[in-house]
Amino acid sequence: MTALVESLGLVVRQLREARGWSQEQLAEHSDLNRSYVGEIERGRTIASIVTVEKLARALGISLPVLLADCEHIAQRRQAQHIRLAAIAC
């Protein structure tokens, strides 16, 4: 999967855990299946924009903020990967 898909999973998990919610609770708040939420958090599925909006709304943040957080993490992970590749050379 792409870095952005993996980053979405990380951000969703962090926000869910910050609220003290289980995956099941997030699924209920976002009207999604619990196993689907788990797949998103593990970065194993590409969520539609409608699904991402449901997650953002359930987590109490706007869609642009959620996507910006995902992009920020993806960029940080890419920079780390580049640094590690440079060290390996």
Q: What is the pLDDT of residue 88?
A: 66
Q: What is the pLDDT of residue 51?
A: 98
Alpha-carbon distance of 46 to 68, in angstroms, equals: 17
Q: What tens digit of pLDDT does each residue of 2-53 get?
A: 888 999 999 999 999 999 999 999 999 999 999 999 999 999 999 999 999 9
**Domain 3-88 falls in which CATH fold?**
434 Repressor (Amino-terminal Domain) (1.10.260)
| Domain map (residue ranges) of the chain | 3-88
